[in-house]
Structure 1
Amino acid sequence: MLENLVAWLTGNLSPSARIWTALAPAILACVYFLGGLLVFCIRVAFKGVPRDEETLKRGNAGFVGYFLRHYFFWIIQPLWAVILRSGLPANALSMLSGLLGISSGVAVAAGRFALGGWLFLAAGILDVMDGRIARTRKEANPAGAALDSVLDRYVDSAMLMGLAWYYRDTWVLLPALGALLGSSLVPYVRAKGEGLGVNVRDGAMQRLERVLFLGAGTALSPILEAVFWPEEKHPMHWMAVVGLVFVAIMSNLTAISRFRNLVKALAPKRQEARSEKAIVGLNAAAGAIATVADFAVVLALVEWMGLLPAWATVLGALLGAVVNYSINRVLTFRSTAAVGRQMMRYAVVSGTSALLNAGGVALLTLHPQLAYTLGWWLVRGVVYFAWNLPLQRDYVFNDTNSSDALMEQRPHAA
């Protein structure tokens, strides 16, 4: 018995022991939560859903909806009642959650994924408890809220830093860093919005979802590894990898969505003849048509007229620019401003866009493990949405920003 305890503490586990260290807590949790779900559904059928007011205030989420959230807070009521009666202060729960969360990062960095995953899940449950305990006892205050928020960032960062350290020599390091970035930006954008008077709590990957997918995937991953790769000294823990990649993608999409909604709510209102989706679609179509025209001209000049490819490329690019400008002016933005100034601005945007695309591809080719074709598309997409589209809409084809419009808006001297 003592040898098994020492082996568990040191991590020197057999394949079967690795399975049971991950599976035993999972079995207990499944028995409790799945049995509780059955009782909860029976209760809902007779008495309706027991609504949790704080859940309603936080808004719905894409992956864990209202029903599951209400169920979760209903099923942990016994634990919540024990903690409430114990008299432990809410700040103590916050600190304990922080300690467990940081410990989870240390555990996964050492390859103890089952231990780290369960510690991370326990930290998440305690994080749910502390604020509710403080509000129930009417002890909630800004200092406690600040402590809880900062410790949450440390917990998330510790877990993801531990995973990044474990996967430091593999491609999984990239999604680990991406998840770290997204998990930091999601609450930051919300806090920035609240500071500016805008409520941005939407998004599919909020903290409950991050804790659930990352914690469960990490805690249960040793089972798969012990079954299929029992002799692997540094297993990949594929369930953890899937959860990590999913959190990395969805947390950044959530942050981008919140950021977009925040900027949209704060930006001056514009009167546009069509929706933003229509503008993006027409603008992209104009780019595609211009590219086809560019290529057709190059092909014709080289194959039929015998022109050098370099000169044909120049002429093709000029024609493509004219086609793109014309379609955007007439159809996409329906501009009536002076053509000369618009063409100059269009040339500035196109020239800088070319430099940004070339520079971005050059930087990505410094990493030979990344295919240059994938890098090309990544750079093109980023430059288009971050530079080309906004500047064409707000700088090139924005009639209200033209010199003629500004002269008309300027008060005349008496």
Structure 2
Amino acid sequence: MHDNVLALLSGDLSPSARIWTALAPALFAIAYFLVGLVLFCIRCAIKGIPRDAETLTRGKSVLVGFFLRHYFFWVIQPLWRVLLRSGLPANALSMLSGLLGVSSGVAVAAGRFALGGWLFLLAGVLDVMDGRVARTRKEANPAGAALDSVLDRYVDSAMLMGLAWYYRDTWVLLPALGALLGSSLVPYVRAKGEGLGVSVRDGAMQRLERVLFLGVGTALSPILEALFWPEQKHPMHWLAVAGLVFVAILSNVTAVSRFRTLVRALTPKKPVQPRSGVALFGFNAAAGAIATAVDFVAVLGMVEWGGISPVWATVAGCVLGGVVNYSINRVITFRSNGAVAPQLARYTLVSSTSALLNAGGVALLTLHPQLAYTLGWWVVRGVVYFAWNLPLQRDYVFNDNTADELLEQRPHAA
């Protein structure tokens, strides 16, 4: 018995013990929530869905819909009543949630994924409870809300930092850092929007989803490792990796989506674009592809049949490709009627800067030899295109309204 307790505390467990330390809490939780789901469905069939008023005020979620949220808050009513009757202050529940969350990060950093996952899930449940306790007792105040929000960031960061530490020598470090970035940006964009008077609550990966996918994936991951890779000293915990990658991708997608919503809400209305966003991207991309093909054919012809130096042929090909790209975008993509000379000057500025950004980005990525340069080339091209080329061509080069404003701002001759 003494040896078993020491093994449990140190993490030096047999494969079967690793399975049971992860599965025992899961079996209890699964049984409780499955029975609760059956009773909830019966209750809904007889009396309708018991709608949780606070849930309705939160943003929509594709992954965890309103039905599941109403069910969750209905099924944890026993715990809710215990906490309410205990008399514990809401701030104490927030602090306890923070302590458990930070402990989860320490546990996963040491390789104790089952312990860390369950601590993280319990911290998430307590985080749901603290605000409700405060509002029910009419004790809610800005100081408590600030404490809760800041502790949430510490809990999320601690868990992801623990995972990053555990995976520091593997490729999983990258999605761990990506999840840390996305999990920080999602609430930040929401808070920034609220400060500017814009509500941005929607998104697929909100905090409930992050806690659910990270916590469950981490807590149950030792089961697969013990079943299929029992002899590994530093197991990969593939279920946790899957949850981590999923959270990394969707949290950043949610952050970008909220950011776009915020910017659009704050941007003054402009005249309707001649094409929709998808069509604009399609025509612009097609113009780039045609210009590249013309560039390549021209260089090939000048070198092979014209006897021109490859260096000068490349320069001439770039110029010709640029003219083709400009012409197609002016006439077909953006249907611009602005003066040609100023447009060409703006187009040249954007294209030259784009070339420098592409070259610099590829040069930076080649500092990491483990990353294939071809992948780095495509990543840099995609980022520069969507962050620089397309928006500037739309709003700066071929925007006739902007061109008129620039003309109006020029000082008139005396």
Shorter-normalised TM-score: what interval?
over 0.9
Cα deviation, residue 294, structure 1: 1.4
User: 1:359-392: per-residue Cα shift (whole Å, max 9, x none)?
Assistant: 0000001101101111001000110111111211
| Aligned residue identity for 2:227 | V
- Please give the alpha-carbon distance, in whole angstroms, between the structure 2 residues aligned to 1:59 and 1:219: 27
* Structure 1 residues 134-145: aligned runs within 5 Å: 134-145=134-145
Cα deviation, residue 358, structure 1: 0.3
* Structure 1 residues 14-413: aligned runs within 5 Å: 14-271=14-271, 272-402=273-403, 404-407=404-407
User: 1:152-177: per-residue Cα shift (whole Å, max 9, x none)?
Assistant: 00000000000011111111111111
| Aligned residue identity for 1:394 | D
- Please give the alpha-carbon distance, in whole angstroms, between the structure 2 residues aligned to 1:206 and 1:405: 41
Check the 8 A contact 2:37/2:71 in 1, yes or no: yes
- Please give the alpha-carbon distance, in whole angstroms, between the structure 2 residues aligned to 1:326 and 1:371: 35
- TM normalised by structure 2 equals 0.97
- Please give the alpha-carbon distance, in whole angstroms, between the structure 1 residues aligned to 2:15 and 2:411: 82
Check the 8 A contact 2:59/2:203 in 1, yes or no: no
Check the 8 A contact 2:60/2:201 in 1, yes or no: no
SS class of match (1:358): helix
Cα deviation, residue 303, structure 1: 3.0
For residues 232 and 408 of structure 1, do their structure 2 counterparts lie closer, same or farther at Cα, with a shift above 3 Å needed?
closer
Q: Which region of structure 1 is more displaced relative to structure 2, 175-184 or 283-292?
A: 283-292
- TM normalised by structure 1 equals 0.97
Check the 8 A contact 2:164/2:176 in 1, yes or no: yes
- Please give the alpha-carbon distance, in whole angstroms, between the structure 2 residues aligned to 1:138 and 1:324: 63
Cα deviation, residue 178, structure 1: 0.6
User: 1:80-130: per-residue Cα shift (whole Å, max 9, x none)?
Assistant: 011111111110100000000000000000000000000000000000000
SS class of match (1:60): coil
Aligned residues: 413
- Please give the alpha-carbon distance, in whole angstroms, between the structure 1 residues aligned to 2:105 and 2:405: 58
Check the 8 A contact 2:362/2:376 in 1, yes or no: yes
Unaligned runs of 5+ in 2: none
- Please give the alpha-carbon distance, in whole angstroms, between the structure 2 residues aligned to 1:409 and 1:277: 33
| Aligned residue identity for 2:368 | H
SS class of match (1:133): helix
| Aligned residue identity for 2:402 | N
For residues 229 and 396 of structure 1, do their structure 2 counterparts lie closer, same or farther at Cα, with a shift above 3 Å needed?
same
Cα deviation, residue 269, structure 1: 1.1
- Please give the alpha-carbon distance, in whole angstroms, between the structure 2 residues aligned to 1:232 and 1:410: 71
- Please give the alpha-carbon distance, in whole angstroms, between the structure 1 residues aligned to 2:90 and 2:37: 28
Q: C-alpha root-mean-square deviation of aligned residues, in Å?
A: 1.7
Check the 8 A contact 2:117/2:219 in 1, yes or no: yes
The percentage of aligned residue pairs carrying the same residue is 80
- Please give the alpha-carbon distance, in whole angstroms, between the structure 2 residues aligned to 1:294 and 1:65: 51
- Please give the alpha-carbon distance, in whole angstroms, between the structure 1 residues aligned to 2:289 and 2:341: 24
| Aligned residue identity for 1:201 | R
For residues 405 and 96 of structure 1, do their structure 2 counterparts lie closer, same or farther at Cα, with a shift above 3 Å needed?
closer
Unaligned runs of 5+ in 1: none
Cα deviation, residue 394, structure 1: 1.6
| Aligned residue identity for 1:397 | F
